[in-house]
Amino acid sequence: MSERATREETVNVVWSGNWVAERLGVALEGGDELGDLLGLALRRNPKRAHLLVSNVLGKHVPQLPSVVHGAGYELGERVRALLGPQEARRAVVLGYAETATGLGHAVADGLRDAPYLHSTRRPVAGVAPAGGFEESHSHATSHLLLPEDRDLLAGGGPASTLVLVDDEFSTGNTVLNTVRALHALHPRERYVIVALVDMRSPADRDRLTAFAAEIGARVDLVTRAAGTVALPDGVLERGQALVAEQEARVPASAPPSVPVPAHVTRVALDWPAGVPDGGRHGFTPDHRAALEAALPAMAERIATALDTGAPGRDDDHGQSAHGDRDRIPAGEHDRDRSPARGQGQDRVGDQDRVRNQDQDQDQGRVRAPRRVLVLGFEELMYAPLRLGTALEELLGARAEVRYSTTTRSPVLAVDDPGYAIRTRLVFPAHDDPADGPGDRYAYNVAGAGFDAVVAVVDSTADTPALHAPDGLLARLAEHTGQVLLAVVPSYTPTPVQEPAVLPEPLRGPDFSSYAPDEVGWLLQDLSDTELEAPTEEREEAIQSGGAHYAESLPVEYQPSPAYQALFTAALETSAARIARAVGTVTETVLAERGPRPVLVSLARAGTPVGVLMRRWARHRHGLDLPHYAISIVRGRGIDATALRWLAAHHDPADVVFVDGWTGKGAITRELAAAVEAFEASGGPAGFDPEIAVLADPGGCVRTYGTREDFLIPSACLNSTVSGLISRTVLRADLVGPDDFHGGKFYRELAASDVSNHFLDTVAARFDDVAAEVDDATKELLAADRAPTWEGWAAVERISEEYGIHDVNLVKPGVGETTRVLLRRVPWKILARRGAGPDLEHIRLLAEQRGVPVEEVDDLPYSCVGLIHPRFTRGATGADGRAVAGGSPVADGGEAVREA
């Protein structure tokens, strides 16, 4: 490239960190280069007040493409020198989304022969994650790794080097999380950490050293500059207050009454076939060679569109008459309005531009725009960057080409020379993101005097929202005379061992009485299939081995008025207790499994609990957590199709399985075995089989709301407290290998449905128990919560003492005992002596079914239900005798609970 394109010039007018430094006392401590590389801004983020704004990254600050690519390329050359050419060829480069996807790719270019992969926050249907990790301080924290070649992360074996690239190395947490996750899958002897700046504290440096020693690997660092960020006490709170003050002072103005015509010219790039749009699924040296060969022609097409399609400008700064609606008024002279000044950016002399413009006009040619921005899109940084470098090389002195990208990170804009984010454009997301709609941003574009903007997106993001009156293209048209759109085809990897089309979740009101956003049922609808059989007939078939419990359903009987009244009273009495447990288990999950877990209830007892956890997260934290219900069947495992669906739409590491309570821990063991078998059969890896439950009286899990054995009213009823959904069904003639397990929606029981009444009653107590939840959560997080398996030991003892000799016929705890009385053939009930109101419904059901209740001492549960161990048709009561009078009241079971 030309000398003009590669030199770095700085205009040391005002450091673009002064505004923040003066108000919050934040300071950069290190070499002089730090001030040239970094400015400061304020985040709208509850985890970190300040934002280090790079002047050479091309994310927030428009910069010469050659400078952005050159910064990464130079770091890559240093890594190559460190490793040597032979080891550099065996290395794999991993960049971080979204900010460092382009930087990491440029580093890989500098290594020359290394393949490249970047993490992503965009799930891709049909591509199972090969791993993932968390970036705790980020606005969007979860990272997926989606290589098309799943051996890419394995590299050349244990000795191959993994090169991790981020824009800044602030605490080291993200790198530690990544290395810890990947080292467990593919141990290697060497890691190289690359960043533009290393801003770690001495304690953070020591932590990385200790971690490297712990895993027995060498860890090298390659950075352009190093220093630290001095943060005074209380900076987070003061920063948040300052953001609120600034936003209140300058509220967002209304959009123009008449949308600005976008004047969009679509540029056909002729992107080379087979070349990925970036490193989301991997980018090889062969891909690099093909792209390099195609870049000059693609730049020619863009330049031609710029030369021939530019409409007139509205003013001297590339703005329309509608003005700069998201700009905070500057009150500055025109010479200071460009965000490029005073931020350590490269500038091209105005005299050179005028001289070349005059030459073009003298020769009768159409003048190319003097100032062009190539604008990338979130994670799509490398493709627009390289288009920018090729355009910069092609146009030479004819135009100044700058490069930056849009982002999902909210940052305060302050139009002050001493602040790094001068202006912002706000527009809706236009790529149908997995975490739902939201605002997106382009910084330092408005008011920067760009004659033309070349917006580069991938085809996934070329949606109606992009072209809408409030979309990105229209927002750009308000601030420039010409908008070009270049679309890079989104690379679609070939799915591996996946069905052509996975079924979609069922939602209310078509399936279940829950609102559609409360839960997605990963089930198929068998509502029109006759599946019910009498309780006695089912019990005989199950115990004789003639049929599996999941192949049929018990008849859905309705509760008597007396029993319904007991449920209502129990709910009113225990609502606060349940709310406290819901809050405690949810806060524990958020603290230990990340801020955006994917709740997956074990249908159906777990489903009301999952809905309540979702409501708590939204009520207390404003989080809108995904929630699904999945089937697991004892002895036959979990629904593999449902797991594949989850892996195609979410990072498996984010999935948290949810159930109502534990008994003896059979489901805990079943789930662990099922997930292991699923992965061993080639299914996507990464699911954590640990279950989060409301109550863990059996001591079987480490994530729970309480370990007390108390009545959870949703255990009292059947479908009428679980969205009118049956237990799950798994039968070979109904469920194929690529189908979800089945379930029925009992629409005819709508008059008796209390599902939402149960949820609303508990949720109404959330505020009342908030303080107790905070205390309980703090105590739990500091406690030893290792499973004791106390319940399993008690079940084994009871099975032998009562001559049953089958732990599957011993059902411990209030919830499981209720299930025995509602849908199995009970033999007797063991009740802890002195147990109180929690057992009133147990005694009522036992009386109706003629089942004796035996009070015992030293019982770790409130009660235990014993299924008749030698059942034959008609033996519905104690000792095998038929019970005169009374009838089954209701079925409350689910597939995972049957024995």
pLDDT tens column, 767-792: 999 999 999 999 999 999 988 887 77
- CB–CB of 684/649 below 8 Å? no
Angle, alpha carbons 124-126-130 (nearest 5°): 75
Q: Confidence class of residue 750 from pLDDT cuts 50, 70 and 90? A: very high
- Average pLDDT over every residue of 64-75: 98
> 677 falls in which pLDDT band (50, 70, 90)?
confident
Beta bridge partner(s), residue 134: 142
Report pLDDT for 885.
Answer: 33
Instruction: Answer whether 400's CB lies under 8 Å from 297's CB.
Output: no
pTM of full prediction above 0.95: no
At residue 305, φ and ψ (nearest 5 deg) are -65, -35
CB 375 within 8 A of CB 442: yes
Give the least confident one: 143-147, 312-316, 527-531, 650-654.
312-316
Task: Tell me the CA distances in angstroms from 243 to 141, 246, 440, one per residue in order.
Answer: 22, 5, 18
pLDDT above 70 as % of the chain? 81
Which residues lie closer than 8 Å to 789 by C-beta, 6 or more apart? 665, 698, 699, 700
Distances (CA, A) of 246 to 243, 252, 414, 415: 5, 11, 8, 11
C-alpha of 84 from chain center: 38
What is the overall mean pLDDT for the chain? 81
Q: Which residues, at least 6 apart from 112, have a Cβ–Cβ distance to it below 8 Å?
A: 76, 80, 88, 285
Is residue 660 within 8 Å of residue 649, measured between CB atoms? no
Q: Confirm if 90 and 162 have CB atoms less than 8 A apart.
A: no
Contacting residues for 15 by C-beta, under 8 A, at least 6 apart = 35, 39, 342, 418
Task: Report residue 563: phi and psi, to 5°.
Answer: -70, -35
Residue type, 652: P
Instruction: Tell me what pLDDT residue 745 has.
Output: 95
Spatial distance between the Cα atoms of 652 and 407, rounded to a whole number of angstroms: 25
Mean pLDDT (whole number) for 128-152:
66
Both tokens assigned to 753: 């449905």
Instruction: Write down the pLDDT at residue 125.
Output: 76
Answer yes or no: is pLDDT of 390 > 70.
yes
Distance of CA 786 to the CA centre of its chain: 27
Q: Between β-strands 553-554 and 50-54, what pairing exists: parallel, antiparallel or unpaired?
A: unpaired
pLDDT of residue 791: 77
Q: Which residues of 160-198 are buried (b: 16+ CB within 10 A; e: fewer)?
A: bbbbbbbbbbbbbebbbbbbebbbeebebebbbbbbbbb
Radius of gyration of the chain (CA): 32
As a whole number of angstroms, the distance between CA 415 and CA 418 comes to 9
- 567 φ, ψ to 5°? -60, -45
Least confident residue range of 23-37, 131-145, 679-693, 796-810: 131-145
Residue 140: CB atoms within 10 A of its CB come to: 16
> Of the ranges 8-22, 600-614, 668-682, 715-729, which is most confident?
600-614
- Give the model's confidence band at 318: pLDDT under 50 very low, under 70 low, under 90 confident, else very high: very low
Average pLDDT over residues 405-419: 94
**521-568 pLDDT tens trace:** 999 999 998 877 665 555 554 554 444 556 767 777 677 787 788 788
For 697-824, strand residue ranges (E) read 703-706, 742-743, 810-812
Which of these, 395, 401, 397, lies nearest to 456 by C-alpha position? 401
Within the chain, how many helices (H) and strands (E) appear?
24, 33
The DSSP symbol for 250 reads S
pLDDT score, position 883? 35
Strand-pairing partners, residue 257, are none
pLDDT top residue among 559 and 655: 655
Query: What's the rounded Cα separation, in Å, for the pair 302 and 805?
Result: 79
Q: Which residues contact 257 (CB under 8 A, 6 or more apart)?
A: none
Within 483-560, residue ranges assigned H as helices are 535-544
CA–CA dist 679, 150 (Å, integer): 14
Give the tokens for residue 175: 């790198």
pLDDT attached to residue 815: 78
| Distances in whole angstroms, Cα of residue 351 to Cα of each of 318, 348, 355, 357, 398 | 19, 9, 6, 10, 12
- The owner of tokens 């490239």 is 1
Please determine, for residue 317, whether its predicted confidence score (pLDDT) is greater than 80.
no
CA-based max dimension of the chain: 110
Residue type, 62: P
Amino acid at 263: H
3-class secondary structure, 648: helix
* HSE (side-chain half, CA atoms, 13 Å) at 548: 15
Backbone region of residue 516 per phi and psi (left: phi > 0; alpha: psi in -120 to 50; beta: other values)? alpha
- Report the distance separating Cα 345 and Cα 373, nearest Å: 14
The Cα–Cα gap between 226 and 237 comes to: 27
Minimum mean pLDDT among 131-135, 540-544, 627-631, 637-641: which range? 540-544
Q: How far apart are the first and last CA of the chain?
A: 73
Rounded percentage of the chain residues whose pLDDT exceeds 90: 48
Distance from C-alpha of 630 to C-alpha of 606, rounded to nearest angstrom:
9
Q: How far apart are CA 813 and CA 860, in angstroms?
A: 9
Angle at alpha carbon of residue 632, lines to 664 and 648, rounded to 5°: 135
Distance, in Å, from the CA atom of 98 to the CA atom of 141, rounded to the nearest integer, reads 10
Distance between CA atoms of 13 and 120, rounded to whole angstroms? 37
Provide φ and ψ at 533, rounded to 5°: -145, 150
CA distance 253 to 328: 10
User: Tokens representing 221?
Assistant: 């660092």
570 in Cβ contact with 711 (< 8 Å): yes
Judging by DSSP bridges, how do beta strands 92-95 and 218-230 pair with one another? unpaired
